[in-house]
Structure 1
Amino acid sequence: MSNARSLGRGLNRIKLGTRAAVIATTLAASVGGGLALSQPASAGTNADHFLSAVIPCESGGNPHAVNSIGAGGLFQFLPSTWHGLGGRGLPQHASVAEQWQRARQLYAQAGTSPWYASKPCWGHRI
């Protein structure tokens, strides 16, 4: 087999592998409700650093904030996301400590994806 043919097959495998990865990532993100563009979730300090940058963007620091689509709390959880993380009631009625706990859980599961829409705000803070 020629080197060119071998290289071509290798590139096809890369293209197919990339397509499969993109499809899998897109599917996972759409099922999870976020975008596929995120940083990998990592240890607690990175989570707290990131989440501290998100708060002013999402809620202005108000743990009782509620937006026009019903997302609430410091991190603007949708009620369905909140309940999926084990939260009860509504996020804006939970303690600040519980809001942080659930935000850390979500970050560990999905990285920055759940907060991607506000990236123009927090992107320069981290």
Structure 2
Amino acid sequence: MAVAIQRIVIGLVRNSQDQYLISLRRGEQHLAGKWEFPGGKAEAGEDELSALARELEEEVGLELTGAELMERKVFEFDDRTLALHFYRVTGYRGQPRAREGQPLKWASVEELRALPFPKANDSVIAAL
């Protein structure tokens, strides 16, 4: 049986102290207990930047004003296949807040490298 590929958009949001916004995946989610950058599923017919803007607003209350593609990859898990689209956020308005009750924090690149992230993030974190 063919498995549908989910398109996922991910925003690397950096503050003026060169820290990146991350959140902790909750207990009921796939890969619970791992840290992640904000983002989520692109809906059918939705372009990537529109999906990223919607996800940043829904998850962390930020208004996207600019982003550039950093990396694309397909990542296969036992139960799903994801097409991941990592964007470096070049502009945003607002202050992040946990709109879905998830723990949020700003982390330096050194902290990112030490925290547990899904393997699909390894190459992006290494490039920061």
> TM class, shorter-chain normalised?
under 0.3
Higher helix share: 1
TM-score using structure 2 length: 0.26
* Structure whose CA Rg is larger: 1
TM-score using structure 1 length: 0.26
Higher strand share: 2
